[in-house]
Amino acid sequence: MELSTQKNLQPPIVPKEDKVVSPWLEAWRSFRKNKLALIGTIIVLFFIVIAIFAPFIAPSGINDQMLSKRLQAPSSEHWFGTDDFGRDIFSRVIYGARISLWVGFLAVMGSIVVGCFLGIVAGYYGKWVDTIISRIFDIMLAFPSILLAIAIVAVLGPSLKNALIAIAVINIPNFGRLIRSRVLSVKQEEYIMAAKAVGMKNNRILFKHVLPNSMAPIIVQGTLAIATAIIEAAALGFLGMGAEAPNPEWGKMLSDAKSFLTQAPWTMIFPGLAIMLTVLGFNLMGDGLRDALDPRMKN
């Protein structure tokens, strides 16, 4: 009888509460399980490291000319061969990573800043503000992006700086429309209504609540846009409207080498491979981020 009484007096077992996991931590766990995304990240990090340590990796200067060794095939002395001026292509490809990544990152950052600002204003305030900004986006998207970039560079003048500006401008509508659609959804949430009810100013609502809850799609789109920006910079360089000689920009290297395609194909192969691998890396990483950050992509 006493034993049964003691059993009844034992405290009830309280089930353990599930540990709350941060959405960003959960996204990281999902991302690192994606093997293709990790491969893409490794490729991107590889080119970033090459760009940072280019002076220590490159065996010679980017403009060191050796006319006696012009158009030599790849060898132990010149891993990627030499161009028509006898310059080491391996060194120029390594330094070209600096230019291409620099253009890609800066152009996309400019697009994100301007596009997000316009998209937030259009989505949050609506009415005539939304109408004007949305029509501007529609007009810009009506033109093929590369043609619009060529037109901008033609007006500003051929240079790497103007090519960067043109690439940033043509990508603004993509980020603007993306953030606008996100803001239209977020501003209907209860916490936004509560913030308005307590008298919080619009600027504080936008930058403290709306923008942070709209960053996931921007991160994904930004990663994919860097790959597009690198291709667009290479295209402008190939057309002679981007980097000017003797800058070792990959697109410009392809343009300079097109006359020697049959005689010295390595002058085009290695800059082309650098563009392909860099773009592949950013695309794989962007796809992995989309799968990790977008709830609709999860099982």
Q: What mean pLDDT comes out for the span 103-108?
A: 90
Average pLDDT, the chain: 81
Gap between the Cα atoms of 81 and 270, Å rounded? 9
Per the CB < 8 A criterion, the answer to whether 88 and 78 are in contact is yes
Residue 109: what pLDDT? 92
Kindly report whether the peptide bond that precedes residue 265 is cis, defined as omega within 30 degrees of 0: no
Q: Residue 188 above 80 pLDDT? A: no
Q: Is the pTM of this model over 0.75?
A: yes
Residue 1: what pLDDT? 47
Domains and CATH numbers, the chain: 90-299 (1.10.3720.10)
Instruction: Write out the two tokens for 273.
Output: 């491979």
Q: What mean pLDDT comes out for the span 111-126?
A: 86
pLDDT in tens, 234-283: 888 888 887 777 788 888 888 888 888 788 888 888 988 999 999 999 99
The single-letter code of the amino acid at 292 is A
Gap between the Cα atoms of 111 and 172, Å rounded? 5
Gyration radius of the chain over CA positions: 26
Instruction: Write out the two tokens for 85.
Output: 């001026």
Three-class SS state of 276: helix
Positive or negative, the CA dihedral 94, 100, 106, 109 is negative
Q: Residue 283 half-sphere exposure, CB side, CA atoms within 13 Å?
A: 11
